[in-house]
Amino acid sequence: MNIFHKYIPDFSLIFSINFRKNMPELPEVETVVGFIKPEIVGKTIMSVVPQNGYDKVLATHDPAKFFTLVNSKSISDVSRRGKYIVIHLQKGFLLIHLRMTGRLLFELSQNDKPKHLTTIINFDDGTQLYFKDYRKFGRLYYFDTLDPINQKLGIEPLSPDFTDNWLIDRLEVSKRQLKPLLLDQKFIAGLGNIYVDEALWSAKLHPQQLGSTVSPAKARVLHNSIQALLRKAIENQGTTIINFYFGEGKSGNFREQLQVFNRQDKKCLRCNEKIIKIRVAQRGTHICPKCQKL
């Protein structure tokens, strides 16, 4: 397939040198949904074409089968579930998970290397949606219903169901450490490494503290921290906590809102103690040893 390159400045090189954490979590996915929704609702999918022979980008079916499932289907809505982008078709759902480095673009820039392109979605009006993903961990899924995804995912942290009492009750009976628990998509859907570190710092909780040892009062603070963080990040198009690029080189401020993530060896913004980086559940974890004690 011949790809027409328009020149659009791509700041991803600068970005990758300064700060490589570009992982889409809930607010970033929400931002992407808001970005692509007005562009693709009403269009009809003509084809979904894996690039560079990378057929495994289609997680649920082989390319031929996938084609028969989405071809000629119109798009009625775009929404989010956890970190999944959910494209509602006239029948069935096309889901996209960006994983670590996935990006959706309507146009490619000169700096977008063809080998980083994993999928092109062609629409009936001649436009395309490009799935660029230089690590190629992102995936596309087709499901007839959302049941399979709902079975895998837990509560939506911004839904009315996610109340402070919900969290209090669930923590009370959990023997798991807070960090792996909050990272578990089956527990709460949408939190990733960055927001979990930020939320725990905000609530002054140690990532290795066991759920059942968290007081109801502390659980309430954690609940509030999680929701406040997510809301603030969405308000700022996912760029408040991390610098997330979406669309054609769109970006925003970054770093200034990061309280603890990636701030190891720097001073805690609350107490001036030095932030340290430890490993919890095999993940890089940032804490203030003074504010967050076991």
Residue 73 binds DNA (CB under 7 A): no
Residue 18 or 72 having the CB closest to DNA: 18
Distance CA 14, CA 111 (A): 12
The 241-280 site mask, x for binding DNA (CB under 7 A), equals ----------------------------------------
Residue 68 or 150 having the CB closest to DNA: 150
Which residues from 36-65 bind DNA, rule CB under 7 A? 54, 56
State yes or no: is 152 an active-site residue.
no
State yes or no: is 25 an active-site residue.
yes
Residue 82 or 247 having the CB closest to DNA: 82
Which residues from 109-138 bind DNA, rule CB under 7 A? 115-116, 134-137
Residue 180 or 249 having the CB closest to DNA: 180
Residue 83 binds DNA (CB under 7 A): yes
Catalytic residue among 73, 83, 136, 139: 83
State yes or no: is 160 an active-site residue.
no
Distance of alpha carbon 179 from the chain centroid: 17
Distance CA 95, CA 87 (A): 6
Query: Residues, the chain, total?
Result: 294
Residue 183 binds DNA (CB under 7 A): yes
Which residues from 134-163 bind DNA, rule CB under 7 A? 134-137, 152
Segment near DNA (CB under 7 A), from 41-49, 65-73, 94-102, 199-207?
94-102
State yes or no: is 179 an active-site residue.
no
In angstroms, what is the minimal distance from the CB of 54 to DNA?
6
- What spatial distance separates the first Cα and last Cα of the chain, rounded to whole Å? 56
Which residues from 207-226 bind DNA, rule CB under 7 A? 210
Residue 8 or 210 having the CB closest to DNA: 210
Name the residues annotated as catalytic: 24-25, 83, 283
Binding region for DNA (CB under 7 A): 16-17, 21, 23, 25, 54, 56, 82-83, 97, 99-100, 115-116, 134-137, 152, 173-177, 180-181, 183, 185, 192-194, 210, 281-284
